[in-house]
Amino acid sequence: MDELNNQVIGNQTDNGLIENESKNNDLKIDDEKIKIEDVKANKNLRILTGDRPTGRLHIGHYFGSLKSRVELQDKCETFIEVADVQALTDNFNNPDKVKQNVSQIVMDYLSVGIDPNKATILLQSRIPEIAELTVFYSNLVTIARLQRNPTVKTEIAQKRDLFGESVTYGFLGYPVSQAADITAFDASLVPVGEDQLPLIEQCREIVRKFNSIYGDTLKEPVAVMSEKGRIKGLDGNEKMGKSLGNALYLSDDLNTINEKVMGALTDPARIKKDDPGNPDICMVYYYHKLFSDENTCKNVCEECKKGLRGCVACKKQLIENINKELEPIREKRHYYENNPKEVMDILMSGTAHAREKAKETMEKVKKAMKLDY
């Protein structure tokens, strides 16, 4: 979307976005998904994104979403949700873990450059309208449809140790809660990875069903696709996470980074320093492509293939470049760690602002549903 002031978007434009046909700046978006680079500055558009507070954020979050959020906060009205209620769907037996990580995630947001004067950071559990919308939407979705959602199916299979053979209603239905998150704040755009697209499509289905029954009330969100896919772990695993022990956290200190990178997976066929290597299966080269400049990456690749670069030297260069990127983040985080009240004040202030938006949505929804007694 171009910088349009009162100009709006419904038909496809050269930018891959839409022109609003209404005169009141209510944006009507018809695309199902767009690329993040196609999002142009337009403060009439609202973005909703967020994370579950189940642990500190790592470089997978950083390259996958956080850097994009810093950019998007200057382009669109941005809401970032700390989804503590959703975190309880598979952490219901460990509420302390969820509570303790709320402030950790907010500190990570602030440390990477999320500006509370530009973006609204909010806490899901403090906005009861989301829970209320979840109940209303649950009437519009069948159990069979939730069971067919490929994202939910995959996650249930991964959590068999927790759920056994019978998943809880709360976890099975979390896409309904996500639809409530998105629509509560009238969000037009939702940044997601490829594996999350089925959740956005389910939200769009709920919105269409609601509007078909109660009248044109809610907005169908558009998925905003990240340039980078999921970032691999240090061990080469397609997923990076605390439980897998393969993550580099934004808050990791120099010694921790050094220890983790020195243990990163390299070409297992390369025994001696001057053996030719295959950088395409080496996680050190993979991370060089994230943290090092193009010329460095080219040299790493060529020297590795010719056996002119040892793995230890390559790892040390990577560690240096990682720390160049993360040191400013750690410095800012150190400030917020020493000022926890400021962190919670930012979160509560953002939540209060977000709730006013949710109240506006709930007023429209209840009027459409004839619940405006």
**Spatial separation of the C-alpha atoms in residues 39 and 170, rounded to whole Å:** 33
> In this structure, how many other beta carbons lie within 10 angstroms of the beta carbon of residue 84?
21
Give 142: exposed, middle or buried? Use CB within 10 Å, 0-12, 13-18, 19+.
Answer: exposed
> In this structure, how many other beta carbons lie within 10 angstroms of the beta carbon of residue 270?
18
Token digits of residue 171: 């976890």
Yes or no: say if 43 and 4 are a contact pair by the CB < 8 Å rule.
no
Can you give the pLDDT at residue 4?
29
Can you give the pLDDT at residue 162?
93
Closest CA to 118 of 52, 81, 72: 72
Can you give the pLDDT at residue 7?
26
Yes or no: say if 133 and 85 are a contact pair by the CB < 8 Å rule.
no
**Spatial separation of the C-alpha atoms in residues 140 and 130, rounded to whole Å:** 16
Yes or no: say if 350 and 122 are a contact pair by the CB < 8 Å rule.
yes
215 phi and psi angles, rounded to 5 deg: 100, 165
DSSP state of 373: -
Kindly list the distances between the CA atom of residue 317 and the CA atoms of 4, 223, 268, 288, 295, in Å, as whole numbers in the listed order: 45, 37, 20, 9, 13
Chain-centroid distance, C-alpha 144: 27
pTM to 2 decimals?
0.88
Can you give the pLDDT at residue 334?
97
Domains plus CATH for the chain? 9-232+339-368 (3.40.50.620), 254-337 (1.10.240.10)
Can you give the pLDDT at residue 64?
87
List the chain pLDDT tens, one digit each, 373 residues: 332 232 222 333 333 333 333 333 344 445 788 888 888 899 889 999 999 999 999 999 999 889 999 999 999 999 999 999 999 999 999 999 999 999 999 999 999 999 999 999 999 999 999 999 999 999 999 999 999 999 999 999 989 999 988 999 999 999 999 999 999 999 999 998 888 899 999 999 999 999 999 999 999 999 998 777 789 999 999 888 877 889 999 999 999 999 999 999 999 988 888 889 999 999 999 999 999 999 999 999 999 999 999 999 999 999 999 999 999 999 999 999 999 999 999 999 999 999 999 999 999 999 999 999 9
